[in-house]
Amino acid sequence: MDAQNQDPDPKKAAGRDVGGGPPPGETPPGEGGLSGAGPRETHNPTKGWSVAPLTALLVVVALFVAFFLTYAIWIAVGGIG
């Protein structure tokens, strides 16, 4: 580094290997990920269907099947005019 150039010469900088990079063991280990970067998550909903929507869906399907089964039996016994 001299008065005109404020950037140090990478070949002359301390802690450099022959190729200009840092010697082995001098660099810090890689990051472990971002698991601790955000706020703590206290609400973690379960995956999949909960009991209430699944029950409602089954009731609607059962009513649908019962309606068409009843209609088919009514037509089979001659219920239309």
Whether the predicted pLDDT of 3 surpasses 80: no
Where are the chain's structural domains?
50-81
Residue 18, helix vs strand vs coil: coil
Query: What's the whole-model pTM score?
Result: 0.41
CA angle 45/31/28 to nearest 5° reads: 165
Tell which phi-psi region holds residue 66, choosing left (phi > 0), alpha (psi between -120 and 50) or beta.
Answer: alpha
Identify the pLDDT of residue 78.
Answer: 84
Helices (H), 1-81: 51-76
* pLDDT band with cut points at 50, 70 and 90 for residue 70: very high
Express each pLDDT in 25-67 by its tens digit. 676 656 666 666 677 777 777 777 788 889 999 999 999 999 9
